[in-house]
Amino acid sequence: MTATIKQAYQQIFNDEPVLFFSPGRINIIGEHTDYNGGFVLPAAIDKGIYLAVNKRTDTTIELYAASFNESYSCTTQTVAKANKQWPNYILGVVNELQQAGYEIGGFNLVMDGDLPIGAGLSSSAAVECATIFALNDLFALNISKQKMVQLAQKAEHNFAGVLCGIMDQFASMFGKKGHAIKLDCRSLAYEYVPLQLHDAKIVLLNTSVKHTLASTAYNTRRNECAQGVQWIQEKYPAVNLLRDATIEMLDVCVKEKDSTVDNRCRFVVQEIDRLLQGCEDLKQGRLAALGKKMFATHDGLSHSYEVSCKELDFLVDAVRDNPNVIGARMMGGGFGGCTINLVKENAIEALIAWLSNSYQQATGLKLETYIVQTGDGTRRL
Ligand code: GLA
């Protein structure tokens, strides 16, 4: 990948690039908790987005996406939302830097990657983090990693239109090989937890259903959680996020008002608790207990939070009673993408063969599978 992207850059721009990489991410447990101020437990993987970039002497921004064979150009004075999505993840970052008062000049950029797009592995966050890391390096902006993560998240809000939490960008930037990151999404305090899975491995099963998070559903969930908080605040003014809420508060303030909002909030409160216990399970090597919680998370996401789809449910139900599958659940925003499975190593091959067949028969779709290797966060190569 590094050789081909370098060559592409040399051919297009007749110049030498600097190379950067930012990984995709998985999340062990703790879904839809980040924008509620809760905890998440993601890890960076060894697949991601590669950029070949360098400064220009003028103010032109020239972009080329190798996987789409498409170009886009503008200048630093004309940065605006593009009518196709991929340039927006890059231009969104430029826009946030400019809004925050950072000076950047023109640049050339070639983007490529080995991360499946729309599979719930945060390819968009990887592009944003790679871009901000590259621009910070090339233009010597001296921005901290934490600030870069926050600006990358804002780029997603303002240019991609998804009001995402901080998990994806944080995991991409701060990833560490062999570890998950227990992140407190309110304070941004974090802890690396060794991902010790003994005789198990993490297997991703990609439904091949492309999730369009931007298509309102994700933002609707955010609003439903905010509505719940507002009702709780009438009685408990100190509660600012669902992180601070309890089941009792929901019983008193939300349940009677709206059952949908109540279901959403209840899931989040339970999920934050499940994550805290699941993280202890991981630390203590209690994988069976962690696995059970992953199934419980899936059921909550499917029935209460309602962000699953029939293909994701099919894949989780198919492995639910399989003694070689320790845990499984849908992962990420939902409505498609992957399930994450904890599978005993010696059973992986047979499981994939059997599932690929039954999934195709049931849905007509091709099942893509990946055995996850964790990796380090955003970096210059
Ligand atoms: C998407 C968002 C994240 C997070 C997850 C759900 O991946 O980008 O911020 O909310 O969905 O946990």
Domain parsing of the chain, residue ranges: 2-194, 200-372
Q: Using CA atoms, how far apart are residues 246 and 198, in angstroms rounded to an integer?
A: 35
CA 321 to chain centre: 28
DSSP bridge pairs for 71: 64
Q: Using CA atoms, how far apart are residues 306 and 186, in angstroms rounded to an integer?
A: 24
Query: For residues 20 and 378, is the Cβ–Cβ distance under 8 A?
Result: yes
Q: Is 35 in the pocket of ligand 1 (CB under 6 A)?
A: yes
Query: For residues 162 and 218, is the Cβ–Cβ distance under 8 A?
Result: yes
Per-residue model confidence (pLDDT) at position 345: 97
* Sequence-distant (≥ 6) Cβ neighbours of residue 189 within 8 angstroms: 183
Q: Using CA atoms, how far apart are residues 331 and 124, in angstroms rounded to an integer?
A: 16
Ligand 1 centroid, distance to 121 Cα (angstroms): 10
Per-residue model confidence (pLDDT) at position 215: 66
The total of other beta-carbon atoms located within 10 Å of residue 81's CB is 15
What one-character-per-residue DSSP string does 83-120 give?
A: SSSHHHHHHHHHHHHHHTT-----EEEEEEESS-TTSS
* Sequence-distant (≥ 6) Cβ neighbours of residue 230 within 8 angstroms: none
Location of structure tokens 């991929």: 86
**Regions of the chain with pLDDT less than 50:** 214
Ligand 1 centroid, distance to 59 Cα (angstroms): 34
Q: Using CA atoms, how far apart are residues 127 and 134, in angstroms rounded to an integer?
A: 10
CATH code reported for the domain at 2-194: 3.30.230.10
The protein residue with its alpha carbon nearest to ligand 1, atom 8, reads 164
* Sequence-distant (≥ 6) Cβ neighbours of residue 309 within 8 angstroms: 207, 209, 334, 335, 336
Query: For residues 8 and 137, is the Cβ–Cβ distance under 8 A?
Result: no
Give the number of the atom of ligand 1 that is nearest the alpha carbon of residue 122: 7
Residue 251 tokens read as 């019983």
- Substitution candidate for ligand 1 out of 167, 220, 275, 335 with most atoms within 8 A of CB: 167
Per-residue model confidence (pLDDT) at position 216: 82
* Sequence-distant (≥ 6) Cβ neighbours of residue 367 within 8 angstroms: 205, 206, 207, 208, 315, 355, 356, 359, 360
CA 10 to chain centre: 31
DSSP bridge pairs for 69: none
Per-residue model confidence (pLDDT) at position 212: 64
The answer to whether residue 168 is catalytic is yes
Q: Is 164 in the pocket of ligand 1 (CB under 6 A)?
A: yes
Q: Which fold has domain 200-372?
A: Alpha-Beta Plaits (3.30.70)
**Active-site residue (options: 168, 262, 281, 313):** 168
State whether residue 380 is helix, strand or coil: strand
Helices (H), the chain: 2-13, 86-99, 123-138, 145-155, 167-174, 217-235, 247-253, 259-284, 287-303, 310-319, 348-363
Give the number of the atom of ligand 1 that is nearest the alpha carbon of residue 27: 12
Q: Indicate the pTM of the whole model.
A: 0.97
